[in-house]
Amino acid sequence: MNNNYSVSEATLDLIKQLSDELKDYKGFTRTETDSYINLDVGDGKAELFGVYKDSDVAICRNFAKEGTEIPEHYHNEWECFIVWKGSMILNINGSSVELKEKEVYSFDGKNLHSATFTEDCWFLAITIPSSEGFPKHSYKDMNNVELENLYKSVG
């Protein structure tokens, strides 16, 4: 069986062009415990606290520092954001929606989406149905000292 394939110059040029358009997310790290997720994205930072989770729905309380960019991703769950302080720009399949305080937006998570935080932002993210790793558990499973320390670290 021959696994060698010929690729045209035009195809190689297209691959290079598409690769060059990708954003560089070096430094993206995810640290998590059962009820807390910390994301470091370049110069940005996001903190996620599990609030509630069962098989049908998951709710996560989030903080994202101004300038944080969450890279494009997708998942099988429907998602809803509720902003209670700050603002963000949500990008879904190339269209942008600005969310400000007291605004709500829902969408099908199967659509390619990302977020840019234009100022420090506090918001709820709800997924239906819940996803296995978002979050693993809720903060009610933590003891009060752990929870208090996490909230203090976010600001």
pLDDT of 131 > 50? The answer is: yes
Dump pLDDT digits (tens) for 21-65.
Answer: 544 444 456 666 665 676 666 677 887 777 788 888 888 888 999
Domains (ranges, CATH) in the chain? 28-146 (2.60.120.10)
CA distance 14 to 8: 10
Which residue, 128, 118, 22, is CA-closest to 72?
22
Dump pLDDT digits (tens) for 54-98.
Answer: 888 888 888 999 998 888 888 889 999 999 899 999 999 999 999
Q: 0.75 cut: is pTM over it?
A: no
Which residue, 97, 134, 101, 106, is CA-closest to 119?
101
